[in-house]
Chains A and B, each alone.
Chain A
């Protein structure tokens, strides 16, 4: 809860100056009656579905038993957190989450920018439109479908093994899902496949906003395509790149649940399990609500710290801020 207050304070402090305070008078209340009634309903909804679960964080400090509820379970302080951090599995799970989060962020981020810039260089309007339409497609497919596709492509008789064998790079089909070494690259590739076109949308919009006369001037000065990308396009979308990068940093720990859950198996679980999967496994399947909640709190706190740090960096560099 203190974190909410912290964010609340920061945002309020920043925004309060901008607008004059609206006077609350009976006349206004009567005039805004409809708005106030709806707001009350919305706040009630928000309190139940968004803020009440935060009260459940108390479970992490208790030896929580469902039949005793939050108020009557014995308080144990930080014991659950100690248990969490003495668990070698949890440490490995943090490593997996961070590693996959960072790898995915890096490759999807770079690919989206490269794709947007190269797509922008296509002169034929029809071709550009067609490629862009096709590039969105995977974003709309569920992870269930994407993992199904991956299984087909990487299976013993799949296209990848087939091609590797045809080019003589391997003698026997490789079982990609049985080797821990392949797991992170497969996840990264799947993310690139699914999201490159989608993530490029915002960069393409930013490129469209660049003043065309800059390109003309560059062309007159003798700039080739590479030079124009380097000196006009990239500086033109720099602000967009920075703000999206900052937004993704806060999401690094969110980068892994569905695909890891769907693709993971006993052979690769040492590298595939993420914090979310750990919470699901211990919290729901094993019924240790307290431990699951503690792991969830850890994840939330790290995420918020990352967001605050990213925001501070942005502020220092004079870039746009998130809040």
Chain B
């Protein structure tokens, strides 16, 4: 009798500790979500609010004076429109070429009978650890006439050891018997790659495509370094960066107020441009979750 009371007491005590844990954990997660989402929602609110009015501050989650003027201003800015077109082009072309190139390389090095399997793998793995660095690469691209050219966004990043390893790991999991039976039927390596292996690799292709596409969409440094002189080759993120520096230079000063044409300010225009830039990503990524989870786990298995 006494013992069972003691046990009950003990259990009660334990569940009390567990309750504290659950409460603390919930608070932590709530804070985490708020801190993650607040800046995005705040930017959205500012982008939908009258620019001059926003300078007074106090806009948090909801616009005070609604307007779409910031968005119409953004869409009328030629450099932002050019940036958007170039960014879409480099994302589409860059993703497709990069995926194709890495898939071919991964296919080759995952063939069991290929004679230079190890050497070719190693040739790429080394590039993960050693690279020439900024200056030699810059001079090389200059020498290859890749500067002031759209192709600097596409060609240099086409093959990449990490993406290759992710695809290779996946391909190595496909049973050899498939390849062998196809070979008995007279299929060459090209057919095996296109008709047998690739259809099975759709999930890992999706993963790599997602990684590459996000990288392409978000990059700005190559635009600044190699194509600074070509206004028609600017990218969305680079234009956004220019907007950011114009905002920080002017600050929320009286001068900014004066410079603000009508109801828009650099801050509000930047907010609108930021929302437009992140919109495609926000819309797409939740649906691709399972792919990048697989990708990361595969990427963890190296060499």
Give the interface of A toward B (CB within 8 A).
Answer: 3-4, 7-8, 11-12, 15, 19, 22, 24, 28-29, 32, 34-36, 38-39, 42-43, 45-46, 48-57, 59, 66, 115, 118-119, 121-122, 127, 131-138, 140-145, 147-149, 151-153, 155-157, 159, 162, 177, 193, 196-197, 201-202, 205, 222, 224-226, 240, 243-244, 250, 257-258, 262, 265, 276, 279-280, 283-284, 289, 292-293, 296-297, 299-300, 303-304, 307, 322-323
How far, in Å, is A321 (CB) from chain B's closest CB? 9
Contacts A121-B25, A148-B270 given; does A133 touch B289 at CB 8 Å: yes
Q: Name the B residues within 8 Å of A46 (CB-CB).
A: 123-124, 127, 159
How far is B21's CA from A148's CA once the two chains are assembled, in angstroms? 36
**Interface-lining segment among B37-45, B63-71, B73-81, B167-175:** B37-45
Q: Name the A residues within 8 Å of B159 (CB-CB).
A: 42, 45-46, 49
Do B244 and A32 have beta carbons less than 8 Å apart?
A: no
Q: Name the A residues within 8 Å of B289 (CB-CB).
A: 132-133, 136
Do A201 and B296 have beta carbons less than 8 Å apart?
A: yes
Shortest Cβ distance from B160 into A: residue:
A50
Do B296 and A202 have beta carbons less than 8 Å apart?
A: yes
Do B14 and A224 have beta carbons less than 8 Å apart?
A: yes
Q: Name the A residues within 8 Å of B220 (CB-CB).
A: 142, 144
How far is B40's CA from A140's CA once the two chains are assembled, in angstroms? 13
Q: Name the B residues within 8 Å of A135 (CB-CB).
A: 32, 36
How far is B113's CA from A32's CA once the two chains are assembled, in angstroms? 9
Do B225 and A42 have beta carbons less than 8 Å apart?
A: no
How far, in Å, is A231 (CB) from chain B's closest CB? 15
**Interface-lining segment among B88-96, B132-140, B198-206, B257-265:** B132-140
Shortest Cβ distance from B56 into A: residue:
A157
Which of B125, B130, B220, B277 has the most CB atoms of chain A within a 10 A radius of its CB?
B130
What is the number of residues of chain B that contact chain A, defined by CB distance less than 8 Å? 96
Do A280 and B134 have beta carbons less than 8 Å apart?
A: yes
How far is B132's CA from A83's CA once the two chains are assembled, in angstroms? 21
Whether a CB of chain A sits under 8 angstroms from the CB of B117 is yes
How far is B17's CA from A232's CA once the two chains are assembled, in angstroms? 18
How far is B247's CA from A265's CA once the two chains are assembled, in angstroms? 13
Contacts A46-B159, A138-B36, A162-B57 given; does A54 touch B136 at CB 8 Å: yes
Q: Name the B residues within 8 Å of A51 (CB-CB).
A: 127
How far is B204's CA from A239's CA once the two chains are assembled, in angstroms? 25
How far is B189's CA from A162's CA once the two chains are assembled, in angstroms? 64
Q: Name the B residues within 8 Å of A157 (CB-CB).
A: 55-58, 252
Q: Name the B residues within 8 Å of A142 (CB-CB).
A: 217-220, 237, 240, 277
Do B274 and A148 have beta carbons less than 8 Å apart?
A: yes
How far is B237's CA from A258's CA once the two chains are assembled, in angstroms? 12
Beyond the given A11-B125, A205-B297, A262-B241, please list 20 additional residue pairs across the A-B interface where CB-CB is below 8 A. Answer: A3-B130, A12-B118, A36-B116, A42-B105, A49-B156, A115-B32, A121-B21, A121-B25, A136-B289, A142-B220, A147-B244, A152-B39, A155-B251, A156-B251, A157-B252, A222-B10, A225-B22, A240-B300, A300-B133, A323-B125
Do A153 and B39 have beta carbons less than 8 Å apart?
A: yes
| B12-44 near A? 1/0 per residue, CB < 8 Å | 001001100110010011001101111110110
Set B39, B117, B133, B134: member contacting A149, Cβ < 8 A = B39
How far is B67's CA from A64's CA once the two chains are assembled, in angstroms? 56
How far is B135's CA from A141's CA once the two chains are assembled, in angstroms? 27
Do B218 and A141 have beta carbons less than 8 Å apart?
A: yes
Give the interface of B toward A (CB within 8 A).
Answer: 10, 14, 17-18, 21-22, 25, 28-29, 32-33, 35-40, 42-43, 46, 55-58, 60, 101, 104-105, 108, 111, 113-118, 120, 122-127, 129-140, 144, 155-156, 158-159, 188-190, 214, 217-221, 225, 237, 240-241, 244, 247-248, 251-252, 267, 270-271, 274, 277-278, 281-282, 285-286, 289, 292-293, 296-297, 300, 302-303
How far is B129's CA from A51's CA once the two chains are assembled, in angstroms? 12
Chosen A-B contacts, 27 in total, with CB atoms closer than 8 Å, are A7-B129, A7-B130, A11-B125, A32-B114, A36-B116, A39-B108, A53-B140, A57-B133, A57-B136, A59-B135, A118-B29, A121-B22, A138-B36, A140-B218, A140-B285, A141-B278, A141-B281, A143-B218, A144-B244, A147-B244, A148-B247, A157-B58, A276-B134, A279-B135, A296-B132, A296-B134, A297-B133
Q: Name the B residues within 8 Å of A7 (CB-CB).
A: 126, 129-130
Q: Name the B residues within 8 Å of A145 (CB-CB).
A: 237, 240, 274, 277-278
How far, in Å, is A42 (CB) from chain B's closest CB? 6
Top 4 closest pairs, chain A to chain B, by CB: A53-B132, A56-B136, A296-B133, A157-B57
Shortest Cβ distance from A54 into B: residue:
B132
Contacts A22-B113, A52-B140, A134-B37 given; does A225 touch B285 at CB 8 Å: no
Q: Name the B residues within 8 Å of A34 (CB-CB).
A: 188-190
Q: Name the B residues within 8 Å of A177 (CB-CB).
A: 248
Q: Name the B residues within 8 Å of A156 (CB-CB).
A: 251-252
Do B218 and A32 have beta carbons less than 8 Å apart?
A: no
Shortest Cβ distance from A150 into B: residue:
B39
How far is B126's CA from A46's CA once the two chains are assembled, in angstroms? 11
Do A284 and B135 have beta carbons less than 8 Å apart?
A: yes
